[in-house]
Amino acid sequence: MTTAGKKERIEMLAAAVVAGDRRALAQAITLIESTRADHRDDAARLVDLLLAQAGGSFRLGISGPPGVGKSTFIERFGLHLIGQGHRVAVLAVDPSSRVSGGSILGDKTRMPELARNDAAFIRPSPAGDTLGGVARRTREALIACEAAGFDVVIVETVGVGQSETAVAELTDAFLLLLQPGSGDELQGIKRGVMELADLLVVNKTDGALRAAALQAAAEYGAALGLLRPTRPGWTPAVMTCSALTGEGIAEIRAALERYRTILGSDGTIARLRAEQNRHWLKSELADALIERLRADPRVAEAITRLEEEVGAGRRTPLSAAREILAALGLKDWPETG
């Protein structure tokens, strides 16, 4: 296809996404996810076009360990939002699917009612080679969803301690789902992950689990007392709900609305977005530089050898990085520090 034809095709795709065409949105995300070099160029052009229409959604990160009830919660919460006139997109990031060979998240059967609803769009983010790669594609998919008119975008990730930071960096608010259990309630959740949460929600506060859930919430609340505010004017809270019965869902929605009002009123969300965009630029630059380095045969050999040496503890990362740059002919380092 000629360059001009291609350009036109991307413009038409962007226009269809903005018009709310769901098939176009799915197609746009497929392009965004492609790792083919020519597709990357097309995707970059597409995202540039969509960016002008994006930025208007509330971006909510949701994480929690497997089995905590993420899909049940998102289905219930998403339907609640749709009932109030919102349009909800769900992007599921699953860094572990690289190992399992398929995405365990985002499977439409996990959220059957939401998947059938015209005001919802559900999409798994496939495995990538790097967490950075997954985050990059998710960020671009998020922009596409916003351009298509979804005013709430939920980014779901399985809480295994790898992807939370990346997701927290993509979103305006980060909700951590927890469940009642036996013994030390804090076990299994890394403190660093807890510190990212703007809202902690103990799910399964129902039936036989109710008392244990309330107890867990109290324990998390006590632990949280030791944490800092996540944003100016906002100290994280612990709430309880039952995704099964819907109890507590409206209260969680109200808390997120308060959070949004507080952050929106003093320009925090705008600053956050600007910060996220600068961060995005840096990570794109780093990824592109590493890609270029690996494409140079002299350097590729040095990287493979030095990765091995660094891994074995025979070289420090700093000296290895210097040798890689030297292999590229970049001998003169600017003085730092």
The binding site for ligand GDP (CB under 6 A) comprises 64, 66-72, 203-204, 206-207, 209, 242-244
Residue among 69 and 236 whose Cβ is closer to ligand GDP: 69
Give ∠ CA 14-17-20 in degrees, rounded to 5: 150
Residues 6+ apart with CB under 8 A from 68: 159, 177, 178, 179, 203
Judged by beta carbon, residue 31 or residue 167, the one nearer ligand GDP is 167
Nearest in space to 125 (alpha carbons), one of 142, 148, 110? 142
- Residue 191 beta carbon to ligand GDP: minimum distance, rounded to whole angstroms: 21
Q: Which residue is nearest to ligand GDP (CB)?
A: 69
Q: Count the residues in the chain.
A: 337
When the beta carbons of 14 and 174 are compared against ligand GDP, the nearer one is 174
Residue 75 or 146 with smaller CB distance to ligand GDP: 75
| Euclidean distance between CA atoms 200 and 61, whole angstroms | 12
Q: Which is nearer to ligand GDP, 92 or 166 (CB)?
A: 92
Supply the minimum distance, in Å, between the C-beta of residue 9 and ligand GDP: 37
Contact 204, 245 (CB under 8 A): no
Element housing 303 (H / E): helix 297-311
Question: Please, what is the minimum distance in Å from the beta carbon of residue 123 to ligand GDP?
Answer: 16
Determine phi and psi for 230, rounding to 5 degrees.
Answer: -80, -30
Please state the closest distance from residue 82 (CB atom) to ligand GDP, in A: 18
| Least distance in angstroms from the C-beta of 324 to ligand GDP | 41
Both structure tokens of 198: 């703007």
179, 203 contact by CB (below 8 A): yes
Nearer to ligand GDP, 78 or 149 (CB): 78
Shortest distance, CB of residue 159 to ligand GDP, whole angstroms? 8
